[in-house]
Homo-oligomer: A and B are copies of this chain.
Amino acid sequence: MAADPASGLRVENLAVARGGLAVLEGVSFALAPGEALVLRGPNGIGKTTLLRTLAGLQPALAGEVSVPPESIAYAAHSDGIKATLSVAENLRFWAAVHGTRDISEPLSQMNLETLAERPANSLSAGQKRRLGLARLLVTGRPIWMLDEPTVSLDTDSVALFARVIADHLGQGGSALMATHIDLGLVSSRDLDLTPYKARAPEAGGISGAFDEVLS
């Protein structure tokens, strides 16, 4: 994992929007290499939106992110798995796109060797999830953004996943995840997003282009 040691992620005063409406504002935090940060907050607070913004998939309303999207690997529910390709073919494709190493190690890390030749549409929900997480390993990127990574995973697989994360952190990577359950990672901190909930413009929040039109 060729993580640039200085490449800690710093986010300052970030405001993110969905559907043209600010969802979170004033989000600031730092994520040092080797560290994991778990985003907390009730449904709909904006965890997914924040992760997508950091991964460069949607523009921020305001604020600064110290790291370019190129060093971030993003994994959500739909993981770009092609149903008709086999597990190995799926992984090999993403490895080729990212110009990275062979896929045998990620396969074994996520305990997928026995399934390698199965087409992806014959996997159970949890097996599919493991394949999605294996994709993270082939990107070779230092910062991981994970949106509810442990959905559908059984306890064994959660433990497996926690080990993979710990490995990644040990190699100088870092991870930012949104999850509602406890992973039992040692080096992780929580970040509660509730205080950053966007206020209405009248109350001092970010105002849109049309806010003053009729006033």
Contact = CB atoms under 8 A, between A and B. Distances in A.
Interface stretch (A62-70, A84-92, A118-126): A118-126
The DSSP consensus for interface residues of chain A is loop
A125 B153 contact: no
Interface stretch (A29-37, A42-50, A93-101, A195-203): A42-50
A152 interface: yes
Contact of A180 (B19, B77, B123, B152): B152
Contact of A43 (B19, B42, B43, B125): B125
Interface residues of A, number: 28
A46 B126 CA distance: 11
B126 A43 contact: yes
A77 B125 contact: yes
B154 A148 contact: no
Contacts of A148: 125, 151-152
A188 interface: no
Nearest to A158: B180
Given A18-B122, A44-B126, 8 more contacts: A41-B154, A43-B130, A43-B157, A44-B127, A148-B151, A148-B152, A151-B152, A152-B180
